[in-house]
Structure formats: C-alpha cells, structure tokens
Structure 1
Amino acid sequence: MRIKAAIDRIPGGLMLVPLLLGALCKTFAPGAPAYFKGFTQGIMTGVIPILAVWFFCMGASLRLGATGTVLRKSGTLVLTKLLAAWAIVMVASLFIPPEGIQTGFFAGLSILALVCAMDMTNGGLYASLMQTYGSREEAGAFILTSIESGPLMSMIILGASGAAHFEPQIFVGAVLPFLVGFALGNLDPKLRALFAPGGQLMIPFFAFALGNTVDLNNLLSPLAGLGVVLALAVIVLTGIPLILADRTIGGGTGTAGLAAASTAGAAAANPLAIAAVAPQFAPAAQTATVLVTICIIVTSILVPILTGLWYRRFGGAAAESEREAPLRTHGGFPAE
C-alpha cells in the first residue's frame, strides 16, 4: 500500500492526516485514553512532551550557513510575517479580551487564535510552491521558517503587543529545547545528522496527540464559518505585506510572498502550548485550536491556487530567468 505517497499528495498531509485521526478518536471515543492507560494514553495525550522533543530536533536542523541571497529572501519573508502578525494582534488586542469574543458571529475568536494563525508560514507548502513557481534560491528561502516553529514567536508577539505578560523563565522554558538543539547541531554536524530527521519524524506523533484535543462536533458549529473568514484574513492581511516586501526588499516578483501567506500545520499545536504556560489563555485554547486547524486546511487549498494565478500574471518571465541562474553555495551548503 502506498499510504505515505497518498499522504504526501495532501498539502500539509503529514500534519493534517494524523491530526484528523486523533480528532476522530476524541469525537467518537473520548474515553479511550483513560480506558487503555499506559503508553497508549501517553501517545494520545502527551502533546507537550512530544512537542518539546520536536522543538529540540527543529533547532538541531537549523544551519548557520546559507547564501546571502537565501538569507535575504528568507529573512525578508520571516520578518514581514512576524511584523504583520504583531501589528494585527496589537490592534485586535484593543477590542478582543484574552478569553475571546463570546457572542455573535465572531464568538470564539481570540487573540490566541489570531496570533497562532497569522505568525507561522507553512514551510513545506512554501518550498513545494517555489519548486514550481520560483527560483532555486527562493525555494531555499524556507530555511529560516524553522525560527517560527513552536510557541516562542507567538509568545513574543503577545508580549510585545501588550496582549499578555510572560515571566522571563517562561520564555526561557519555551525556547530552551530549541536553543540546545540549535547549539548541538551547529557544534557537531554528526549530532545534526542524528537529530535533524526527528523534526519530520515527530510531526505525526504530536499531530495525533493534538487531534485528541479537538472535538469535530465543533466544526459543525459557527466556528466553521469563522475559521474560513480567519483563513481569508491570514491570506489577505499577511499576503499583501509579504508580496510588497518580496518585491521591494527580497528582489522577487511577489510570488514568494504570496506563497508564504499560509498557516503552518504545526501552528495548531501553539494554542495548547501557550495556554500551558499562560493560564489566562486556557479558556480560549480549545476553540483556538479548532480555528487554527481550519486555517491550515483552507490556506493549504487556496494559497497554491492564488500563487499559481499570481505567477502566471506577474511572475512567469522573471522567475524563469532566475531559475536558470547558476546555483550559488556558501560553505558547501547549497541554496535549495
């Protein structure tokens, strides 16, 4: 059976398929973890420890060396995405309480859902789109998206916007596994080779555990419509600044900027991770997880379509000339 090949054909499938399986367990067999106990209970409910290992492996996979062009392009996209998310959260925090909106169409929308949906780009989706519509260096610009992984950037945005206050040790605790992995991976290439594959390997495990916090009955509620609206807001409110930054700073056609206007699959883990260290967000965590999950699905469908349309209208000739340029390297590390 070609199960892996079928999963790979789904945008973000390595995250979304296990997450859906976990959500099915939560919806139709909510008592399963307590019934089975032991290791089965651990893998169904252990989101935080599994995420901690994943953050460590992601840190170990991040290299210091890259070409200047790749760093310029990836740095431009990452910083623009984070600044756009910060501006959105700063404005929204003036109107939305930490526990979220409680009535009307926007009931369930919270600052937590906004920041987790807005601040992380789906790096795998971006890289695959740039393999088709961009240059090799643009495809390699997914490198720095690893910096966005985990709740740290979301916590920084929440703190900088005044929407939340975190004690210094909470920031340290959130980033320490990532930093230790980053240090070890760059001090010893063999350790990088050992730990880096875990960044991919751990995704289905934390996705399944995360899915076990999501009741699919919520998708039949008004949250479905709100989730679609939030996904469209992600594309528009982060896509426009990303396109402008790609064209003016990154030297691109705007195609790479639009391709980065998505919600990362791993972002679905952030509401629960943030609520674990910031109890004021606990009431909004489950609803935020559902909304972010809808954003992942909707942006994974719409962003490739919109990127293709943009490329055909604005980016075709320029991107093709860049694609034919010789591939540059630095320190033996290719921009791919």
Structure 2
Amino acid sequence: MRIKATLDRVPGGMMVVPLLLAATINTFFPGILRIGGFTEALFVNSASALIALFLLIAGTQITFKTAGSSVGKGVTLLVFKWVLGSLVGLLAFWLADDNGLFLGLAPLAIIAAMTNSNGGLYIALAGQYGKEDDKAAYPFLALSDGPFLTMVALSIFGTMGFANGMFSPMSFVAVLLPLIIGIVIGNLDPEMGDFLNKGSDKLVPFFAFSLGMGIDFSAIIKGGISGIFLGVITVALTGGIGYLLFKWIGWNPIVGASEGSTAGNAVGTPIAIVAANASFEPIAELATVQIAASVVTTAILLPLFIGFLAKRLDKKAVMAKAS
C-alpha cells in the first residue's frame, strides 16, 4: 500500500489529509481518541508541543546573519493581513444594511476572521513549500492571535474605546523562545542543527492530525452560507494578495499565500469584544458562528489553494526552461 505516494499526489497532502481525517473523526466520533494516556496525548493534544519543536528545529537552520529576513517576512505578513482585514471590515461597516450586516456578514466577524491566522496551518505550509526563514517568521504572526488586533481596528474606526489586557508581551516571548533556542543551538553547533533538521518534516502529519481534532464540520452548518463565504473571501483576499505581495517583493509567493486562513481562537473574539463594549452584544452570536465556519472553511480550502498555486508556479518554471 503506497500511502506516501498517495499523499504526495494530493496538494499539501502530508498536511491536509491527516487534518481532514482528524476533523471527520472529531465531527462524528469525538470521543474515540479522547481516552487519555499516550493516545490522547499524541493524536489530540500534541499540536502545540510539536509545532514548538518544529519551530525550534527551524531555528537551528537560521544564522544570525539571516535572522533579519525572518523578521522582515513575519512583520510584513502581520501588518499586511491586519491592514487588509481591517479595511474590508471598515468597508462592511460603511455599506451595512439596517440589520448591521454586509452581504449577510457581521463586520465584526470579517475583521476577526481576516486578521487572525491559523499558525499551525502556516507552519505546515511554510514547512512544505518554504525555507527555514519562512518558518521562523511564525512568532511574529502569533501577535495576531486573540482579540487584540481586532480591538485596535475597532478603536481606530472610533466604534469603541481601547481596552487594556488584550495582549500579553509574555505570550509573545513564550512563542518566540523555542525559535531563539534553536537559533542559538544551530549557531553554536551546525552539526547539531543538521542532526535535528533531518526529522523536522516528519512532524507535519502528526501536528496536522492534532489540529484537525479541534475542527468540527458542524460549524459550517451553524455558520451557514455566509460563514462559508467569509472563509472563501479570507482565502481569496488575504491568501491571494499575500501571494502577489511576496512575489512583488521577491520572496516565495507561496509563503505569502499561506497566511490566508482564520485562527481557531478567533472564535472567542466576539465574546471578548462584548466584554469591552456591550454595544456589540446583539451581533456577537452571529459573528461567532460565522467565524467558526470560516475557521473550518479556510482549513480545508487554503491547502488546496496553495497546491494549485504551487503547480501553477511549477508549470511556469517548466515553460521558462523550454523557451
């Protein structure tokens, strides 16, 4: 049975197939792997630990001379995604109907979904299609986790006052530290870096499966067509424009497109926003289910979109060599 060959034929197969398999199990048989012990630790709860290890290994391949490119890419992706999501949300506020919706979408849901990205998905895609400095950009993307940047956007729009306590500098340090440790190890002993790097790709299907165990397909049903639409435009706009932006700069455009997702923790953003400003309460429930649908939709659609872009680039490269 040629499992690896089959996965290699699927765009992003090493990541998307385990993720979708786990999501299917979690949707229809949520308790089957939640039996404690090593089984639950590996297949359900391992994503954070494995991603941290993946990040540490990526750090071993970064020299102090090349670390600047990781910072540049990370900050570029963070700022671009926040600006784009905020502008689309602002447009939705301006064009909203009497119910406060734009094309059936809550503007709050648009901002939260488009400015928060799935870090695990980015790591998996950057690991498959990018280089070490692309993976090492991840800690800066983690700054978008949670409601902080959504609140900043809403504050700028004048719809609410700024609220404290929505971003912890220590949380950023906690994400950055494994990468820094990896950089130190790799620079002190390149042989140790080479040793660790040999196994990094093998982590991808395992943390992808664990990520999938946090996805429930019923979220798509609850979010309805509007939630699916939010996921589609998140992939198309943040992923598509990220691709073009990185291509224009001269970086790997596939990595730029890898930010076109919605983070799972974005689902809690409306509740946090309501805690700071109760005027958003009437729309919070709808925004929550729409964001949840976008999380699932982007987790499925983005790897397929990335696979399509990668094949398109390969064809162009072949044609360029032939001409």
Hey, what does 2:96 align to over in structure 1?
none
Q: In the TM superposition, what whole-angstrom CA distance separates every residue of 1:285-305 from its partner, at most 9, and x where no partner exists?
A: 854531430342342244236
Q: In the TM superposition, what whole-angstrom CA distance separates every residue of 1:166-193 from its partner, at most 9, and x where no partner exists?
A: 2221111121122112211221123212
Hey, what does 2:201 align to over in structure 1?
200
Q: TM-score, normalised by structure 1?
A: 0.65
Distance in structure 1 (CA, Å) of the matches to 2:85 and 2:231: 17
Change (3 A) 1:299 1:109: farther
**Residue in structure 2 matching 1:224, options 213, 217, 228:** 228
The letter of the residue matching 2:9 is R
The letter of the residue matching 1:19 is L
Change (3 A) 1:77 1:310: farther
Equivalences for residues 170-209 of structure 1 within 5 A: 170-209=171-210
Distance in structure 1 (CA, Å) of the matches to 2:132 and 2:117: 20
In the alignment, is the contact (CA less than 8 A) between 1:185 and 1:191 conserved in 2? yes
Hey, what does 2:14 align to over in structure 1?
14
**Residue in structure 2 matching 1:153, options 141, 162, 166:** 141
- Structure 2, gaps ≥5 residues long: 94-99, 154-162, 274-287
In the alignment, is the contact (CA less than 8 A) between 2:85 and 2:110 conserved in 1? no
Hey, what does 1:123 align to over in structure 2?
126
Change (3 A) 1:88 1:236: same
Change (3 A) 1:306 1:186: same
**Residue in structure 2 matching 1:88, options 84, 92, 98:** 84
- Structure 1, gaps ≥5 residues long: 128-141, 251-255, 322-336
Does 2:252 match 1:263? no
Equivalences for residues 217-256 of structure 1 within 5 A: 217-219=218-220, 221-222=224-225, 223-246=227-250
Q: Please provide the CA RMSD for this pair.
A: 4.3
Query: Which deviates the most, 193-202 or 22-31?
Result: 193-202
1:88 deviates by: 1.5
Change (3 A) 1:61 1:76: closer
Does 2:32 match 1:43? no
Residue aligned with 2:136, SS: helix
Aligned residues between the structures: 282
The letter of the residue matching 1:304 is A
1:22 deviates by: 0.9
1:228 deviates by: 2.2
1:23 deviates by: 0.6
Hey, what does 1:296 align to over in structure 2?
302
Change (3 A) 1:232 1:192: same
Residue aligned with 1:194, SS: helix
Residue aligned with 2:84, SS: helix
Distance in structure 2 (CA, Å) of the matches to 1:175 and 1:286: 27
Hey, what does 2:26 align to over in structure 1?
26
In the alignment, is the contact (CA less than 8 A) between 1:54 and 1:202 conserved in 2? yes
Q: In the TM superposition, what whole-angstrom CA distance separates every residue of 1:189-234 from its partner, at most 9, and x where no partner exists?
A: 2321232234322211211111111112334542333322222113
Change (3 A) 1:124 1:95: same
Distance in structure 2 (CA, Å) of the matches to 1:38 and 1:214: 21
In the alignment, is the contact (CA less than 8 A) between 2:186 and 2:193 conserved in 1? yes
Residue aligned with 2:60, SS: helix
In the alignment, is the contact (CA less than 8 A) between 1:55 and 1:199 conserved in 2? no
Q: In the TM superposition, what whole-angstrom CA distance separates every residue of 1:268-289 from its partner, at most 9, and x where no partner exists?
A: 7x544x889xx949x6885453
Distance in structure 1 (CA, Å) of the matches to 2:316 and 2:74: 20
In the alignment, is the contact (CA less than 8 A) between 2:27 and 2:215 conserved in 1? yes
Residue aligned with 1:239, SS: helix
Distance in structure 2 (CA, Å) of the matches to 1:28 and 1:290: 15
Q: In the TM superposition, what whole-angstrom CA distance separates every residue of 1:60-104 from its partner, at most 9, and x where no partner exists?
A: 2334467xxxx98x887666544422422443565789xxx9996
In the alignment, is the contact (CA less than 8 A) between 2:61 and 2:132 conserved in 1? no
| Identical residues among aligned pairs (%) | 24
1:156 deviates by: 5.8
Distance in structure 2 (CA, Å) of the matches to 1:32 and 1:224: 28
Change (3 A) 1:236 1:288: closer
